[in-house]
């Protein structure tokens, strides 16, 4: 990143990295925590300031640079919070996050329908791997197939989702 | 589809199966690799749909888990009426600690309903409260999956079990600093994967023993 004085580059940085920063902040402090949005804003502002002031010299990639800022800010948040309520520290949410509504309900319904129609051999893999959260190897063992097969069948389900997204 | 050598790690990351360093490394990668981040988002959506629609997706499947061993079943059978009462009592105490988190009906909840909605209303009673080599808690019913989490500043270990106790793997123990404070917590999930209830977070200090 050379002379990034012009607002175009900064805007680009913001729009490119905001989603991943948001993702990480929510995952770390929980999206039910109302502060998450402020924290994301702070991180983005901080990034822009540092790029503007030349503190970011391109020693690392801009992604890594923003990741470092994000991590520090989250640790800071957790420390502060811990001082306030010692017994109840923030934590990562159960996965998948029950507080987040899937933005596109229609899309979710469509995908569910497609998954319902899958052959049992796919469903079994999805059930053990994603629903029960077993490791790939364990799933392979239980079903007597190779780990590679497990991945293939999982990928197939993801492909269904991509098809719906790209429609 | 463009492949990335980090792609294999995505599921481990999502299910919290990476150790601290690996997790950090992977997150740094996510900040640098739009492709992997997109995968993470897609997989998250896929998993959410699977969990939310599990009843209909897996309805025609025989998902009979292996029956629990008889001893365990006995323990659960023995414990199940009691914890409900003691849970109600301890819930009052827990409310003071986790004020605002649990709704007031906590004191009256006598049954755990395993439906599709998150039922917050009772708490799990943690039994080993200090320096545990084994974590133990009161079982709240049949077919409940418990997720045990250990934290310091961040989550350092998480494991699911259908039993009501668990011990820390040596690998995790070796990464914990003697004298430092940690927290542990248990969450209970219905067979549909929904959060039923959670315990309060209990602080403990790690003490190393030479001969466990």
Query: What pLDDT, on a 0 to 100 scale, did the predictor assign at position A22?
Result: 93
Query: What pLDDT, on a 0 to 100 scale, did the predictor assign at position B77?
Result: 43
Contact A90, A30 (CB under 8 A): yes
Q: Which of residues 107-126 of A touch B (CB under 8 A)?
A: 107-108, 111-112, 115-116, 120, 123-124, 126
Interface test with chain B among A133, A147, A160, A163, by most B beta carbons within 10 Å? A133
**Alpha carbons B33 and A150: distance in angstroms, whole number:** 25
Q: Say which CATH class B70-205 falls into.
A: mainly beta
Residue range(s) in chain B whose domain bears CATH number 2.60.40.10: 70-205
Instruction: Encode pLDDT of A87-123 as tens digits.
Output: 554 555 556 555 455 567 788 888 999 999 999 999 9
Tokens of A117: 């129609």
Instruction: Encode pLDDT of A122-141 as tens digits.
Output: 999 999 999 888 889 999 99
Contact B205, B179 (CB under 8 A): yes
Query: What pLDDT, on a 0 to 100 scale, did the predictor assign at position A161?
Result: 87
Query: What pLDDT, on a 0 to 100 scale, did the predictor assign at position B69?
Result: 44
Between chains, do A64 and B31 touch, taking CB under 8 Å as contact?
Answer: yes
Q: Which of residues 54-73 of B touch A (CB under 8 A)?
A: 54, 56-61, 63
Tokens of A121: 């051999």
In terms of phi and psi (left: phi > 0; alpha: psi -120 to 50; beta: otherwise), the region of A27 is alpha
Interface test with chain A among B23, B57, B116, B204, by most A beta carbons within 10 Å? B57
Q: Domain coordinates of chain A in residue numbers?
A: 7-84, 105-165
Contact A36, A18 (CB under 8 A): no
**Alpha carbons B158 and A48: distance in angstroms, whole number:** 36
SS3 label, residue B197: strand
Tokens of A72: 């520090």
Closest by CA position to B40, among listed B52, B50, B54, B29 = B29
Query: What pLDDT, on a 0 to 100 scale, did the predictor assign at position A9?
Result: 78
Residue in chain B nearest A32 by alpha carbon = B101
Q: Which residues of chain B have pLDDT under 70?
A: 1-3, 62-133, 200, 205-212
Contact B66, B58 (CB under 8 A): no
Instruction: Encode pLDDT of A9-31 as tens digits.
Output: 788 888 999 999 999 998 888 77
Reduced DSSP (H G I as helix, E B as strand, rest coil) percent helix, strand, coil of chain A, to 5: 70, 0, 30
A–B interface: beta-carbon pairs under 8 A: 139
Please report, rounded to a whole number, the percentage of residues in chain A having pLDDT higher than 90.
44
Tokens 């414990």 belong to residue = B79
Q: Domain A105-165, what architecture?
A: Orthogonal Bundle (1.10)
**Alpha carbons A130 and A150: distance in angstroms, whole number:** 11
Q: Which of residues 133-162 of A touch B (CB under 8 A)?
A: 133, 135-136, 154, 157-158, 161-162
- Burial A112-151, CB ≥16 within 10 A → b, else e: bebbeebeeebbbbbbbbbbbbbbbeebbeebebeeebbb
Please provide the average confidence, as pLDDT, over all residues in chain A: 83
Query: What pLDDT, on a 0 to 100 scale, did the predictor assign at position B128?
Result: 56
Q: Which of residues 65-84 of A touch B (CB under 8 A)?
A: 66-67, 70-71, 75, 78-79, 82
Instruction: Name every residue whose Cβ is closer than 8 Å to that of residue B200 and which is 6 or more positions away in sequence.
Output: A87, A88, B94, B97, B98, B123, B126, B185
Query: What pLDDT, on a 0 to 100 scale, did the predictor assign at position A6?
Result: 43
Neighbours of A53 (CB within 10 A): 8
For residue B116, give Cα distances in angstroms to A125, A161, B113: 22, 23, 9
The total number of residues shown for chain A amounts to 167
Query: What pLDDT, on a 0 to 100 scale, did the predictor assign at position A65?
Result: 93
Interface test with chain B among A43, A62, A91, A126, by most B beta carbons within 10 Å? A91
Contact B126, B148 (CB under 8 A): no
Tokens of A104: 């596109």
Query: What pLDDT, on a 0 to 100 scale, did the predictor assign at position B111?
Result: 31
Query: What pLDDT, on a 0 to 100 scale, did the predictor assign at position B122?
Result: 41
β-bridge pairing B155-161 and B145-151: antiparallel
Contact B103, B120 (CB under 8 A): yes
Instruction: Name every residue whose Cβ is closer than 8 Å to that of residue A34 and which is 6 or more positions away in sequence.
Output: none
Fold adopted by A7-84: Rna Polymerase Sigma Factor; Chain: A (1.10.1740)
Neighbours of B99 (CB within 10 A): 10
Query: What pLDDT, on a 0 to 100 scale, did the predictor assign at position B93?
Result: 58
């Amino acid at each position: 990143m050379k002379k990034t004085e012009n607002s175009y580059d900064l805007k680009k940085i913001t729009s490119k990295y905001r989603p991943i920063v948001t993702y990480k902040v929510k995952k770390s402090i929980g999206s039910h925590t109302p502060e998450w949005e402020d924290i994301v804003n702070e991180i983005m502002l901080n990034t822009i300031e540092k790029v503007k002031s030349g503190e970011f010299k391109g020693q690392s990639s801009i992604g890594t640079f923003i990741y470092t800022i994000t991590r520090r800010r989250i640790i800071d948040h957790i420390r502060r919070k811990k001082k306030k309520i010692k017994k109840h520290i923030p934590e990562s949410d159960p996965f998948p996050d029950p507080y987040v509504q899937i933005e596109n309900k229609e899309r979710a319904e469509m995908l569910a329908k497609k998954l319902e129609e899958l052959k049992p051999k796919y469903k079994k893999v999805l059930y053990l791997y994603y629903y029960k959260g077993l490791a790939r190897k364990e799933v392979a063992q239980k079903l007597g197939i190779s780990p590679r097969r497990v991945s293939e069948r999982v990928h197939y389900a993801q492909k269904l989702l991509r098809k719906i997204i790209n429609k | 589809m463009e492949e990335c050598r980090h792609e294999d790690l995505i599921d481990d990351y999502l299910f919290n199966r990476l150790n601290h360093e690996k997790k950090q490394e992977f997150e740094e990668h996510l900040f640098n690799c739009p492709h992997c981040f997109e995968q993470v988002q897609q997989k998250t959506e896929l998993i959410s749909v699977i969990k939310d629609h599990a009843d209909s997706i897996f309805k025609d499947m025989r998902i009979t888990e292996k029956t629990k061993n008889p001893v365990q079943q006995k323990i659960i059978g023995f414990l199940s009426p009691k914890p409900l009462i003691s849970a109600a009592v301890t819930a009052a105490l827990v409310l003071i600690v986790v004020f605002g988190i649990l709704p007031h009906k906590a004191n009256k909840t006598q049954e755990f309903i395993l439906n599709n909605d998150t039922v917050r209303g009772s708490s799990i009673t943690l039994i080993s409260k200090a320096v545990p080599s084994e974590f133990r808690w009161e079982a709240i019913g049949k077919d409940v999956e418990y997720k045990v989490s250990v934290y310091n500043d961040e989550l350092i270990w998480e494991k699911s079990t259908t039993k009501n106790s668990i011990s820390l793997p040596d690998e995790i123990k070796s990464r914990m600093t003697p004298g430092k404070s940690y927290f542990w917590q248990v969450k209970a999930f219905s067979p549909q994967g929904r959060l039923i209830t959670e315990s309060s977070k209990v602080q403990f200090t790690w003490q190393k023993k030479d001969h466990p």
